[in-house]
Chain A
């Protein structure tokens, strides 16, 4: 551990001052600089620039992951205004996370998790398209094709996880720490030529905790995605597809994991070959349960949406709202079996009014496909609330 940190500090001294665009390039008039490609863990402080962590570099106009920075994906992921997400994890050499079948893996001090939010670029607009981050990464991640918005870091320090939001500059050479968050106006255009303007909200550091402090009593910030059920899927690595749990184990990032077939696995919400029930529950799990869990910030509502939450009023079935205010939309129950258009769930998912919409944070647009899924799930339910 100490050696890792010492190594990191040395690298920091060598690499911190370099902007991403300069990495691996010849600086004007000087000798060729071979920039370090080893990430840097900062045990304290809040580095002003993303490049100071040295997780990513730009080479030949593309985004490249630095040494042992491992990209990953989730079975079902949080909707964030149709942004694409490049997720990475990096652990200090010789360190590994401890597997857990239910909770977030126990990552060692020094771990840096990143999530870069970006869109495919269409002129000045951003494009509505399927997220193909793995393929993009394998084909050079050309920066000219994308608009990078922000990179959020979760850094595991001695005292716990810290959330640091970085916003990319217009030149896409580096991202700058913006703890108070940001609001950017984007035009989202779809393949059929229609487009709409919306305000993309970069959360402030407290809002990061608004989702990542999944236990409202301890308020400890935790990663949400790196859990067995979310990670248990294949990822297209450069060398080919492999199950992420198996690959993390092989790379020494993870210990104690069972064979993937023995580990829990959430559904891919968009995979129509899977059961409606499993897709809907996976969607609610990743989009809602960080607050709507037994100890979460939304336990005040009595609505519990974890992947294993029991079916009944606490899952919304014939459950009357408590403090929803405008959020009821005049509807009487969270879920009216068989009646999506009478259920508060769909009303709040369709809305983009901040005082109505769910989730409360992290989106300015409505996720039509996700709402459709939940509507179908409700429509397929038997029973009534009479």
Chain B
């Protein structure tokens, strides 16, 4: 069976793609600091501010924080650096299982697994944090850079994530989230919103990832997501080969994906600058097009992306060199060797139960307001047998989603 995203993740190890150089030159600081910091985290009391001094400190074992109401503050993402290059134990760099948590102004480098994981907390602020694998992008890098999961009221701003073998900036199974002014580069997924309810993603830069910004809904998880607004972002040149781990959801994302919406509903994509993503600037798909197809999902899981509203974006280039043989062949067949896919590529799966007189009701459709923006339905259900670029049913508008309101984002 042909699959839109049947991309094989290869374990290419490309040398020296790191965008970060200056911090590498900083000499390693006191190895005794690890014990000091660990004790501070263990003994923290609500209201404490733990200050990370300037310097690059070697850390060998996972750090963790379980106390609510703590702030961890460094002198800046290029000044206060926790280097896990010599890490011997622990599945992440820093694991936080606490609420009312703020982390800002520091870097977490070269962890064996995830860099910063925050699990089951409310009122989380992650600001000005850099997570990076400094040897460039490769499959051996840790999975996630910044990784809040099962959290509510989350603000992620002004962070930088580089080199993650899954997602650089990720929010999963969370609610009420703002992701803004971050930079994600050389990750498989630059920014990923997964199974999350009410997320605003704006003013970010996603470049040189395999996929720039992903809005996913995956089956068999405790929380399903909907309602994400993606706006005013720069999503440019996300053409890095997929270096993810086979079997993970992101491993099926084709290189050259700008914004990808998979099986999520009520997603609004507007006023973004999306350029030169070589498979397509915007991809909309069902999990049927990923390696998740053919699986027994939970009964309430909806695999179809519905109520997708696209308008006001600046779209340029892209679609000219899709990843994967099937898509390459399709592109050449329909648009010629030098041609390109339209800006929006859709796999064409619709819920047959919702079709009325051959069409989806408007509120279930993919609506593309701007007549200049084309769409291709690759006819995934019939293995690309009858792809088409008919856009009449997609010239529609949908009610706009409300903005996410977050107290800690007002400042």
Contacts and interface: CB of A to CB of B under 8 A. Distances in A.
Contact of B89 (A201, A297, A327): A201
A309 B89 CA distance: 29
B172 A323 contact: yes
A326 B143 contact: yes
Contacts of A313: 220, 295-297
A331 interface: yes
Contacts of A206: 41-42, 64-66
Nearest to B150: A300
A138 interface: no
A354 B245 CA distance: 16
A354 B113 CA distance: 7
Contacts of A320: 220, 247, 249, 291-292, 295
Contacts of A209: 66
Counting from the closest, the 8 A-B pairs by CB-CB distance are A325-B143, A355-B113, A328-B247, A360-B91, A206-B64, A330-B246, A355-B112, A180-B38
Contacts of B383: none
Q: How large is the interface on B (under 10, 10 to 19, 20 to 34, 35 or more residues)?
A: 35 or more
A296 to B, nearest CB: 10
Contact of A300 (B87, B165, B173): B173
A364 to B, nearest CB: 7
A180 to B, nearest CB: 4
Interface in B107-125: 111-114, 119-120
Given A201-B89, A323-B143, A318 B247 contact: no
A195 B271 CA distance: 63
A216 B119 CA distance: 8
Contacts of B95: 210
Contacts of A176: none
B90 interface: yes
Main secondary structure of the interface of A (DSSP, over half): loop
Contacts of A213: 66, 97
B120 A386 contact: no
B200 interface: no
A36 interface: no
Contact of B165 (A219, A325, A331): A325
B142 interface: yes
B61 A183 contact: yes
Given A216-B120, A330-B245, A354 B150 contact: no
Given A320-B292, A328-B247, A302 B114 contact: no
A8 to B, nearest CB: 26
A207 B90 CA distance: 9
B296 A300 contact: no
A330 B65 CA distance: 31
Contact of B88 (A210, A323, A354, A386): A354
B396 to A, nearest CB: 33
22 contacts: A181-B61, A183-B61, A201-B89, A206-B41, A207-B64, A297-B120, A299-B150, A312-B296, A320-B249, A322-B218, A322-B248, A324-B245, A325-B248, A326-B143, A329-B247, A330-B246, A331-B247, A354-B90, A354-B112, A355-B91, A385-B295, A386-B294
B349 interface: no
Nearest to B89: A201
B294 to A, nearest CB: 7
B326 interface: no
A204 interface: yes
B39 interface: yes
Contacts of A344: 247
Contacts of B60: 183
B149 interface: yes
Given A312-B296, A328-B245, A323 B291 contact: no
B220 A319 contact: yes
Contacts of B249: 320, 322
Contacts, number: 148
Contacts of A183: 60-61, 88-89
A213 B291 CA distance: 34
A339 B74 CA distance: 48
A322 B149 CA distance: 12
Interface of A: 179-181, 183, 199, 201, 204-207, 209-210, 213, 216-217, 219, 297, 299-300, 302, 312-314, 318-333, 344, 353-355, 360-361, 364, 385-386
A354 B91 contact: yes
Contacts of A210: 64, 95
A354 B147 CA distance: 17
B143 A300 contact: no
Given A318-B295, A320-B292, A355-B91, A204 B42 contact: yes
B316 interface: no
Given A321-B247, A330-B247, A204 B64 contact: yes
B13 to A, nearest CB: 13
Nearest to A216: B120
A180 B35 contact: yes
A80 to B, nearest CB: 13
B64 A322 contact: no
A324 B251 CA distance: 11
Which of B61, B87, B88, B246 has the most A CB atoms < 10 Å from its CB?
A: B61
Interface string B55-89: 00000111011100000000000000000000111
A353 B246 CA distance: 18
A386 B149 CA distance: 30
Give the most central of B139, B245, B291: most A CB within 10 Å. Answer: B245
